[in-house]
Amino acid sequence: MIEYDINSLNERILKIRDCLDLDNKIKKLEEIRNDLSNPEIWQDVQKSSNLTQLADNLQKSIDEWNNLNSSFEDFLFWTEFQDEGAENEIAESYKNLVKILEELEVKALLSGKYDSYDAMLSISAGAGGVDAQDFAEMLLRMYIRWGEKNKYSVELVDQSPGDEAGIRSATIFFKGKYSYGFLKSEQGVHRLIRLSPFDFNNRRHTSFVLVEVTPLIENVKEINVKNEEIKIETFRASGAGGQHVNKTDSAVRITHLPTGIVVTCRNERSQFQNKEAAMKILISRLNSLYEEKQKDKMSEFKGETDASWGKQIRTYVMHPYTMVKDHRTNVEIGDVYGVLDGNIDEFQKAFLLKESKEKNQGD
């Protein structure tokens, strides 16, 4: 027989309602729908698109609350029949309620300035030679799998192949609400320990990969990139073995002259698409730099981090045992292959809880 505290559950649910700011969301959704009912609004494609996206996000939050509230009412209904042999129904409804509640509690932790934004995640092979490049490709697959499992739109905008195997670097866009809020936990150096498949003597090797995460911001009023401040170069995008992806100069490299930031995109089919993606990346990185200067400290998005020994946030051990450990939260998972298949939610949740506790202690 399960143990439960209805008052405690009710308090947690009401706290979620407050965190969601539900009443204001309902009011805001009504206002947007009124605006969208005006035919003139659709003449401005960008504005109508932004309003539609905002309405969808608001409706999603409201639906999540309604689902939670409905699950709570369902649970309360079955508890009234506790003395009439409804133990199985009570247990099942309680399990469903707690699952939904815990998911929303995690989302309630995502209250940072950019947590609801799309995300840009960059992967760079560090120390470890070909093993590091292979590890970089393993992490690329891990994040793509995570994005697919969580129903995010995943777009690989740049990828540089490795020398013998793997990749030197890659950049991915994740589009969907809270993608940055969840992925910010991946910022830092990742370490792999395994028997190297590239070592003739099959010795154990340690390799490192740097993961950088920034909110994907297309328009920032404080960021005004002038044409004379950027240098745009085009070149042919090539794949592994030097084979050209196409025969035109479709790949784009943009250098922001005042800061020295260099952005490269080569995965899109056309030069225009690569230039558009590169500008999105540049704007996002300049915004991170702007935030850094505003706070007069190292950026909370992109620190000066070397992908080398002693700086890792997470270690993936494949020999002599299997385990993945996050050194910030001490969360350990034995199924390293499951983690590399995109099952990183437990690490993300622990990071958000730790971040929330530290924030509350500092207030």
Q: Among 65-74, 76-85, 212-221, 325-334, name the one with the lowest average pLDDT.
A: 212-221
68, pLDDT greater than 90 = yes
pLDDT for 322 equals 98
Helix/strand/coil (H, E, C) string of the chain?
Answer: CCCCCHHHHHHHHHHHHHHHCHHHHHHHHHHHHHHHCCHHHHHCHHHHHHHHHHHHHHHHHHHHHHHHHHHHHHHHHHHCCHHHCCHHHHHHHHHHHHHHHHHHHHHHCCCCCCCCCEEEEEEEECCCHHHHHHHHHHHHHHHHHHHHHCCCEEEEEEEEECCCCCEEEEEEEEECCCHHHHHHHHCEEEEEEEECCCCCCCCEEEEEEEEEEEEECCCCCCCCCCHHHEEEEEECCECHHHCECCCCCCEEEEEECCCCEEEEECCCCCHHHHHHHHHHHHHHHHHHHHHHHHHCCCCCCCCCCCCCCCCEEEEEECCCCCEEEECCCCCEECCHHHHHCCCCHHHHHHHHHHHHHHHHHHC
Compute the distance between CA of residue 249 and CA of residue 230 in angstroms, rounded to an integer: 19
Compute the distance between CA of residue 82 and CA of residue 73 in angstroms, rounded to an integer: 15
Compute the distance between CA of residue 114 and CA of residue 284 in angstroms, rounded to an integer: 11
Distance, CA of 224 to chain centre: 26
pLDDT for 362 equals 56
Q: How confident is the model at residue 359 (pLDDT cuts 50, 70, 90)?
A: confident
pLDDT for 245 equals 46
* Ramachandran area for residue 247 (φ above 0: left; ψ -120 to 50: alpha; else beta): alpha
140, pLDDT greater than 70 = yes
Tokens read off for 289: 């730099």
Mean pLDDT (whole number) for 49-56 = 91
246, pLDDT greater than 70 = no
Separation in Å, CA 274 to CA 243, 251, 254, 280: 19, 6, 10, 10
Place of tokens 């969808």: 56
Compute the distance between CA of residue 140 and CA of residue 163 in angstroms, rounded to an integer: 17
Q: Among 70-79, 155-164, 207-216, 286-295, name the one with the lowest average pLDDT.
A: 286-295
Mean pLDDT (whole number) for 14-30 = 88
248, pLDDT greater than 80 = no
- Identify residue 91 by its one-letter amino acid code: A
- What's the mean pLDDT when you consider all of the chain? 87
Tokens read off for 293: 């200067």
Q: How confident is the model at residue 101 (pLDDT cuts 50, 70, 90)?
A: very high
pTM of the full predicted structure?
0.69
Mean pLDDT (whole number) for 258-277 = 87
Q: Are 320 and 307 in contact (CB under 8 A)?
A: no
Q: Which domains does the chain have, with CATH numbers?
A: 6-108 (1.20.58.410), 118-219+305-362 (3.30.70.1660), 227-295 (3.30.160.20)
Tokens read off for 63: 């639906």
Compute the distance between CA of residue 187 and CA of residue 209 in angstroms, rounded to an integer: 11
- Identify residue 354 by its one-letter amino acid code: K
Q: What is the pLDDT of residues 307-317, one digit of tens each?
A: 655 679 999 99
Q: Which residues pair with 235 in a beta bridge?
A: 251
Question: Comparing 259 with 21, which gets the higher pLDDT?
Answer: 259
357, pLDDT greater than 70 = yes
**Residues listed for the chain:** 363
Compute the distance between CA of residue 264 and CA of residue 122 in angstroms, rounded to an integer: 12
Mean pLDDT (whole number) for 148-152 = 96
Q: Among 22-36, 167-181, 204-218, 261-275, name the one with the lowest average pLDDT.
A: 261-275
Question: Comparing 109 with 32, which gets the higher pLDDT?
Answer: 32
353, pLDDT greater than 90 = no
pLDDT for 220 equals 58
Question: Comparing 57 with 183, which gets the higher pLDDT?
Answer: 183
Mean pLDDT (whole number) for 309-327 = 92
Compute the distance between CA of residue 335 and CA of residue 332 in angstroms, rounded to an integer: 9
Mean pLDDT (whole number) for 141-150 = 98
Distance, CA of 68 to chain centre: 24
pLDDT for 307 equals 60
Compute the distance between CA of residue 103 and CA of residue 64 in angstroms, rounded to an integer: 10
Q: Among 58-72, 137-151, 161-175, 279-293, name the one with the lowest average pLDDT.
A: 279-293
Question: Comparing 239 with 116, which gets the higher pLDDT?
Answer: 116
